Amino acid sequence: MSDRTRVVVTGMGAVTPLGLTVDTFWDGMKSGASGAGPITHFERTMIKTHFACELKGFDPTDYLDRKMGRRYDPYCQYALVATQQAVADAGFDTEAMPQEQKDNIAVVYGTGIGGITMMAQQAEVLFTKGSSRLSPFLVPMMISNMAAGAIAMTYGFRGPNHAIVTACATGNHAIGDAMLLLRAGQAEVVVCGGSEAPITAISLGGFNAMKALSTRNDDPEHASRPFDVDRDGFVAGEGAGTLVLETLEHAQARGARIYAELLGFGASSDAYHFAAPDPTGQGVELAMNRALKDAQIEKTDVDYINMHATSTPLGDIAETQAIKNVYGDHAYDVKLSGTKSMTGHLLGAAGAVEGIASILAIRDGMVPPTINLFNQDPKCDLNYTPNEAVEADVRIAVSNAFGFGGHNTTAVFGRFEG
């Protein structure tokens, strides 16, 4: 191990279709629950796909100031609530914290689409009532950096602050950028993650136009089925995941509980197509190899891979092939799963939420399943932990996240060894 700054995870928060806390999310995942159901956010018959993985029972006023809670776009609401959980979980009393300490806390937080709910609502106002009736909050609540800004404003964190927008790789990129800030000495603590609220007619209608979404309207709970021969597209999901990362030195000095160590991160570009994955998987391989090199581990050290696995015909095959190319024979020994089969695809939040799942797999020695895997595609021939969680000694877990535009990311988490 080099003498570079070590980075650890000390807090986590999540609002997901499986539950509105980390514990309920993880319980749902271990039990193989599906978060899919009929769309309630808008008149679902407007588009071809009538279902999604929505949050259940979420009311922003249960967590946030009533006035500001209503003004924020849902993607900001989700980010603030997940962060509220993570900051408390990390043991920070931000009200008692001196400002000079807050000045060393950074925020790196992203989204794939941003405030599309606000934009869609205000577009209707424009076309029906005119521009004089537009909300003065439209622009600040629509832009993709507002979640990062809102987190800093809520807690007074004056360290570096920026947003990531790399489609479905966003949450993972936020984790990677947070690690780089800590290694560079630009912060002692970074709040990082991703949030998404894409369940609107315009966004899902757009995905339908691309033929990217499943249209299994008669059976939503079984619609997201990575690696199955009958998969027909992804299922949209909403929510947020937040992680608190710290330098090991800072965490130990304050006696923090440590969930895991962030060992390494790798990123690349396909440089191939605006939406389709490169079928050769070369870009994905680059990201995975760079992450393993950065983590300073051998391929055979990896016990579990949380795959991007969106349940699309091309994507699942390409990622499977890339894993075989990188890991060789070990690809058939390592445990894998596609947890979007349960949560749906949380787009910009996916990497953060799946990073949390990877960390919990290490903590609890439990690999979550790929549900709805009934008839495995012969081109997807690895061990995807079908339908039921399994106990396993997970010391090192890898989390993959890829995005439209060819963005590839891989994060490597390890059991904290002291």
Catalytic annotation, residues: 168, 308, 345
Distance CA 105, CA 155 (A): 10
Distance CA 396, CA 405 (A): 29
CA torsion angle 258 35 409 202 (round to 10):
-130
Tokens 């549900």 correspond to 371
Distance CA 258, CA 10 (A): 5
Distance CA 12, CA 356 (A): 7
| Residue 24 identity (one-letter amino acid) | T
Distance CA 386, CA 186 (A): 42
Retrieve residue 328's tokens. Answer: 């060789």
The helix (run of H) or strand (run of E) holding residue 191 is strand 189-196
Tokens 């015909």 correspond to 313
Distance CA 235, CA 208 (A): 11
